[in-house]
Amino acid sequence: MATQSKMQQASISEFFEKNKHFLGFDTLNRSIITAVKESVDNSLDACEEARLLPDIVIEIRKIKGEKEQLLMIGQDNGPGIPADAITKVFGSLLFGSRFHTIRQTRGQQGIGITGVVMYSQLTTGKRTHVISKVAEEATAVHVEIGLDTKKNKAITRNRKRDHWLDSEGNVIEHGVRVEAAMKAKYQRGKQSVHQYLRMTSIVNPHASISLKVYDEEGEIIDEGNWPRVTEVLPRPVQEIRPHPHGQEIGSFQRFLRDAEARKMTSFLRHNFSGVSMRAAREILDIAGVDEARKPSGINANEAQSILSAFKEVKLLSPPTDCLSPIEDLLIKKGLSKAIDSKFVSTITRSPAVASGNPFQVEVGLIFGTDIPADSPVEVLRFANRVPLMYQQGGCLLTKSIESVDWKKYGLEHPGGRGIPKGPAAILVHLASTNVQFTSEAKEALSDNEEVLNEFRLALQEVGRGLRNHKRKSKQREKAKEKFELVNVILPEISEKASSILGREKPDLAPVITNIMNAVFVEEEAEWDSSEKVTRCSIKLFNYTARPRQYTILATWPEREGVSLIEENIEGRREAKGLRKWKLDTVPQSENVEINFVLDGLSKGDWTQFDVFFRGSGDIIGAMKLDEKILEEIRREEIAAEEEKMLANEQMGEMVNDVTEEEFIESNDVEDVREINTHQSNLFSNEWSDE
């Protein structure tokens, strides 16, 4: 047993130095991916917080004369890092601005880029060269940074101020450049820097990203370029207060000890989201705690009673402006730029809450033309817009895909287990204020039944879209083949027969109608560049011997900022994201066309949509409406309306709660922000896709 004199406390830097695998530096191939990831994550976060469209350049160079050593260079056009913060950012583990905040961010612990500096120093003995330029300053800071692992403190040398020029001699106005040498190995394939950046570009369609990899002689051996496909930045995220439903006894007692409020009602209202004065009094009444008590005087038993009371009182859900989902239209753009496709289906579910933490799930399914049909589908996993490259099998996101019976939706799924097979890729993205990973390396998500269920519902929805697409394509191919044969062969027979008999050519339309004996539909969505609108059409052809009567329904992006401004046949809203037109008569051998125009979209946002119908007889190219699914959508609408009513009621209470005394005591402007946030969220949720 070690004597007390030999025992000493290790610093956090020393711990990670000896356990670098915790940070993702466990193999040479993986180390370069981890270094690039940390650099790119920082660049994206910095640009988005400064409301700048990111331009990110990654270079990897083989160091001449050194075995298995690479130089990683990452450069961005972000706001830059102030001079007095550079050493903290790059030279202190657990230094950052996001660890104690409750909002969606890529990084939170403050480990990432300092881990790169530490790994570089550990494996090569070299320091990391950093250039940072802030727009307000005339020159950039140039500095070489190392890490004193005992003190968890930066070591700097050759610090200077100078102009920062690009390769053409132009002055760079703002941004950061990081050059770190490290023991690493570059490889191509599914687990590579190239694949990581490709995946990053899919879920960050507003970013321009490029990659160049050089050998020892300076020759390019690999490269990639992923330009931005939208100039729409992710919506800014707001920090929120913790929610009572996510509290544990230890953290709750810390809140009580640190509280500045003079009584418990003010403490509950101003330290947690979703708690009105009525709710606070009800919680304290159930817990048997006097509302005038001082928070710091609450003992452990009373604190536990309050935690139990949280579960018995109906509370407002936490605000969701702390989340920044990609949103389905941009997922389509991102997927389409990376994978050649025949069909893309995406869904962004409404925000939900697990253990008091807001989260939102997004799913995309792309049916491709250049993807092997006999291999498992490509799985693209993301958490807060960051690709997850390793530990796919043990990840919640993978398990959610495996929980769906894909055979029902047109993909091969032997035994109904594992990842399905087919020429497709499935994207799964979790946006959350508190992503629960299985390890410090942040490679896989841990199990959570509420999150898994949300993903399952979203995957089933995109699966239905694929099934509809495949069925429509098959029906249309058969109908087109039959129609072409009839229209080629019959006119020739008619012409020859008329010539032999010396008679006029008969009207073939009724004959073709009897042979075809089908109703089919064609839909189209086109971008009108002159009017900046999306024009959609649904053409219905009745090749049967009698008139038909149908109700035609079509999906459309019903959300804030998008409006249906024109239609040639008056329609009605059937459900969220679904519009219908009643056609009393579609005459035999004739066609009917429905036209509608969408405003508020950009080019490429809306290129395809689904068509459904009610009525007797099938329509080739459309699906008969599943009334059960429609009822499910309506139930969700009713639930959302009930949540809205509860929110309005509690927000009214929160407005009435604000008294002059409490405003002085604890700054009720936070209540006002929460009220406004909930009103905004409720409005946007009402108009978002299910």
Q: pLDDT tens for residues 407-423? A: 988 888 887 788 999 88
| Single-letter amino acid, residue 201 | S
Give the CA distances from residue 187 to residues 33, 86, 569, in Å, rounded to whole numbers and listed in that order: 10, 31, 57
pLDDT score of 365 more than 50 = yes
d(CA 346, CA 56): 27
- Residue 64: which residues within 8 A CB-CB, separation 6 or more? 216
Torsion on CA atoms 348, 352, 353, 359, rounded to nearest 10: 10
- Residue 138: which residues within 8 A CB-CB, separation 6 or more? none
Specify whether the CB–CB gap between 266 and 667 falls below 8 A.
Answer: no
The region of weakest confidence among 142-156, 219-233, 336-350, 593-607 is: 336-350
Q: pLDDT tens for residues 647-681? A: 666 556 555 555 444 444 444 444 444 444 444 44
Tell me whether strands 424-432 and 357-368 are parallel, antiparallel or unpaired.
Answer: antiparallel
Average pLDDT over residues 618-630: 82
d(CA 341, CA 367): 6
Instruction: Return the pLDDT at 597.
Output: 94
The residue among 353, 338, 323 whose CA lies nearest residue 237 is 323
Neighbours of 581 (CB within 10 A): 21
Burial of 25 (0-12, 13-18, 19+ CB in 10 A): buried
Neighbours of 602 (CB within 10 A): 16
DSSP β-bridge partners for residue 555 = 578
DSSP string, 588-653: TT-EEEEEEEEES--TTS-----EEEESSS--BTSEE--HHHHHHHHHHHHHHHHHHHHHHHHHHH
What does residue 307 show for φ and ψ, rounded to 5 degrees?
A: -60, -40
DSSP β-bridge partners for residue 130 = 143, 178
Give the CA distances from residue 419 to residues 376, 515, 661, in Å, rounded to whole numbers and listed in that order: 6, 43, 60
d(CA 160, CA 448): 50
Specify whether the CB–CB gap between 424 and 477 falls below 8 A.
Answer: no
Question: Both tokens of residue 52?
Answer: 């700048």
SS3 339: coil
d(CA 441, CA 25): 9
Specify whether the CB–CB gap between 636 and 629 falls below 8 A.
Answer: no
Structural domains in the chain?
12-226 (3.30.565.10), 244-316+631-686 (1.10.8.50), 328-467 (3.30.230.10), 512-625 (2.60.40.1170)
Tell me whether strands 378-383 and 386-387 are parallel, antiparallel or unpaired.
Answer: antiparallel
**Could you say which DSSP state residue 437 is in?**
B
Average pLDDT over residues 321-326: 81
Q: pLDDT tens for residues 483-532? A: 777 777 777 787 788 888 778 877 776 776 667 678 888 889 999 989 99
d(CA 616, CA 608): 25
Give the CA distances from residue 46 to residues 43, 76, 105, in Å, rounded to whole numbers and listed in that order: 5, 9, 11
Tell me whether strands 518-528 and 563-567 are parallel, antiparallel or unpaired.
Answer: unpaired
Burial of 439 (0-12, 13-18, 19+ CB in 10 A): middle
d(CA 482, CA 682): 50
pLDDT score of 128 more than 60 = yes
Q: What is the pTM (predicted TM-score) of this model? A: 0.74
Crossing angle for the helix pair 509-516 and 449-501, nearest 10 degrees?
Answer: 140
Specify whether the CB–CB gap between 568 and 595 falls below 8 A.
Answer: yes
pLDDT score of 96 more than 60 = no
pLDDT score of 370 more than 80 = no
Specify whether the CB–CB gap between 525 and 551 falls below 8 A.
Answer: no
d(CA 63, CA 487): 68
Instruction: Return the pLDDT at 113.
Output: 82
Give the number of residues written for the chain.
690
Whole-angstrom Cα Rg for the chain: 30
When comparing pLDDT for 350 and 449, which is higher?
449
pLDDT score of 8 more than 60 = no
**Cα Dmax for the chain:** 119
The region of weakest confidence among 74-78, 200-204, 316-320 is: 316-320
d(CA 156, CA 144): 6
Instruction: Return the pLDDT at 494.
Output: 78
Per-chain mean pLDDT for the chain: 81
Question: Both tokens of residue 3?
Answer: 């004597």
Instruction: Return the pLDDT at 416.
Output: 78
d(CA 495, CA 506): 9
Residue in the structure block whose two tokens are 């019903």:
558
Neighbours of 490 (CB within 10 A): 14
The region of weakest confidence among 78-87, 333-342, 593-602, 675-684 is: 675-684
Instruction: Return the pLDDT at 650.
Output: 58
**Could you say which DSSP state residue 329 is in?**
H
Q: pLDDT tens for residues 23-70? A: 667 788 888 998 998 899 889 988 988 999 999 999 999 998 888 899
Instruction: Return the pLDDT at 98.
Output: 43
d(CA 314, CA 653): 13
